[in-house]
Amino acid sequence: MSFTGKYQLQSQENFEPFMRALGLPEDQIQKGKDLKSVSEIVQDGKKFKVTVTTGSKVLTNEFTIGEESEIEMLNGEKVKAIVQMEGNNKLLTQVKGMKSVTELNGDTITHTMTMGDLTFRRVSKRI
């Protein structure tokens, strides 16, 4: 199963408390909470390029499954991470005490980030 495609954000849960926990300024949280981001994923074997466009902000990360890569987080901080694949439809990584799971089911991607007892979930559909 390939992740390649463009996905439009459909819904998200706990955006504001999660972004506050990440340390984002309140004005950025308020600007970003109602924007419908578009994620474009290009998968070439174990190599991935993920571009998320939210309003005028574009966040691009490239990584190879099982290899250490530099990932830019939602707050702009760059961290080293290793992304693993479980089965053929789930990407997992742990970054700075935060667990990230991205799961592809048909035309829907569910991205769940957990930090302590706070969970942020985004659901996007292929467009």
Please state, in angstroms and rounded to a whole number, the distance separating the CA atoms of residues 55 and 60: 14
The two structure tokens encoding residue 79: 């961290």
Please check whether residue 104 is in contact with residue 92, taking contact to mean a CB–CB distance below 8 angstroms: no
Convert the pLDDT of each residue in 33-83 to its tens digit: 888 899 999 999 999 999 999 888 899 999 999 999 999 987 788 999 999
Q: Which domain holds residue 63?
A: 5-126
Question: What is the band of 16 on the pLDDT scale with cuts at 50, 70, 90?
Answer: very high
**CATH number, domain containing residue 103:** 2.40.128.20
Beta bridge partners of 124: 9, 109
* Total number of residues shown for the chain: 127
> What is the model's pLDDT at position 34?
85
User: Total structural domains in the chain?
Assistant: 1
